[in-house]
Structure 1
Amino acid sequence: MNVLKSFALFLGMSLTATVQAEPVTYNIDTKGMHASINFKIQHLGYSWLTGRFDDFDGTYTYDKDKLSNSHVKVEIDTASVNSNHAERDKHLRGEEFLNVSEHPKAVFESTSISGNDQAMKVTGDLTLNGVTRSVVIDAKKVGEGKDPWGGYRSGFEGTTTLKLADYDITKDLGPASTHVQLMLHLEGVRQ
């Protein structure tokens, strides 16, 4: 092999080794109902009241080689709260809780993502009821791969706990009901 061919081969291998994968952007699959935002809060300390938000949308960018390049943004239609009880949901939409007439959207946008696929810390700003606070979501990747329709998907789950008073939700529900737990299940389709 001559020197010129050897140099070209070396240069090609070097360039290949230094090229890093770009972060990949995914649309959250809310239309196919492969994503959910659920919540639970204690009722009088005796049981759990559970519910979900039916309408939300968002995207995330995922860099499996460098999580710090990843990003997520989700917008929730707060009027879509669903606790499986129409009268309670009407109350939750009112001024004492989500105040949807004044604040129809809740928005989470990450500011940093650290850790690894099985133990992520997703830090970001959550705006709810007109108040923005930093929250940390403990998350992990569920899986990724090709789907039956020719696309490529990835999925994540996460949890966080919010203090209601931090978001100006001060209705006294009793000492066992000052915090709400959020459970997030996001599946995205690669763009």
Structure 2
Amino acid sequence: MKKTLITTTLATTLLASSLFAAIAPNTALAADYKVDVKGAHASVQFKIKHLGYSWLLGRFNTFDGNFSYDDKSPNNAKINIEIDTKSIDSNHAERDKHLKGKDFLNVSNFPKATFVSNSIKFSDDENAIVTGEFTLKGVTKTISFPVVKIGEGEDPWGGYRAGFSGTTHFKLADYGITYNLGPASTQVEMSLNIEGVRI
């Protein structure tokens, strides 16, 4: 009887281990997404007031990243974005040269900006607050901002996609950018629109 019990227990354990090994990899992969920068289905944009009379719009043309998301456990989501600061594009070559210089981004010494999430808290199926570490010009600060889930589902090419959008504001001086642009232009707005392909 004791031998039978041990054998049954061992068999059950081995079966459970086999099932976990078969299921776990798929579960892990199901939540991991690569930002679709190759297909240009993502963007990092910014805007800042010009003298308080208009908006100056721009973007970073080169960036990359990944995120994890599962609608069954959305608060376990994570995101990691890296931006090539040299790719700043305000649609004006001379201005971009100035923005890349020491007065602003100083891209020679700080070629990357990054955001790594610490927590993502959903209040419903679509809306969440993301908190994480944003590094720009060598300065790292904790920021929080709202994000909206745009949607998720299968694409026409046999893949699976999910997309989110978020916007944050911060003071330039908080990241060591103190060039005087006037009182109306001390704060910049950045928007992140990402579509990820599940890997």
The answer for the alignment partner of 1:190 in structure 2 is 198
Query: Which of 136, 148, 158 matches 1:140?
Result: 148
Report the residue type matching 1:181 in the other structure: E
Matched, 1:181 2:189: yes
| Distance in 1, Cα, partners of 2:132 & 2:195 | 19
The answer for the alignment partner of 1:94 in structure 2 is 101
- Deviation for aligned residue 1:65: 2.0
The answer for the alignment partner of 1:72 in structure 2 is 79
Provide the alpha-carbon RMSD of the alignment. Answer: 1.6
Q: String of CA shifts for 1:12-60, please: whole Å, max 9, x gaps.
A: xxxxxxx996560000000100000000000000000000000000000
The answer for the alignment partner of 1:156 in structure 2 is 164
Q: String of CA shifts for 1:130-174, please: whole Å, max 9, x gaps.
A: 000011121010011111111000100000001100000000100
Query: What secondary structure sits across from 2:86 in the alignment?
Result: helix
The answer for the alignment partner of 1:126 in structure 2 is 134
Say which one has the larger Rg.
Answer: 2
- Between Structure 1 and Structure 2, the one with more helix by share is 2
- Deviation for aligned residue 1:90: 0.5
Length-normalised TM-score, structure 2: 0.84
Length-normalised TM-score, structure 1: 0.87
Q: Can you give the 5+ residue segments of structure 1 that lack an aligned partner in the other structure? A: 1-18
- Calculate percent identity across the aligned residue pairs: 57
The answer for the alignment partner of 1:171 in structure 2 is 179
| Number of positions where the alignment pairs a residue of Structure 1 with one of Structure 2 | 174
- Deviation for aligned residue 1:181: 0.3
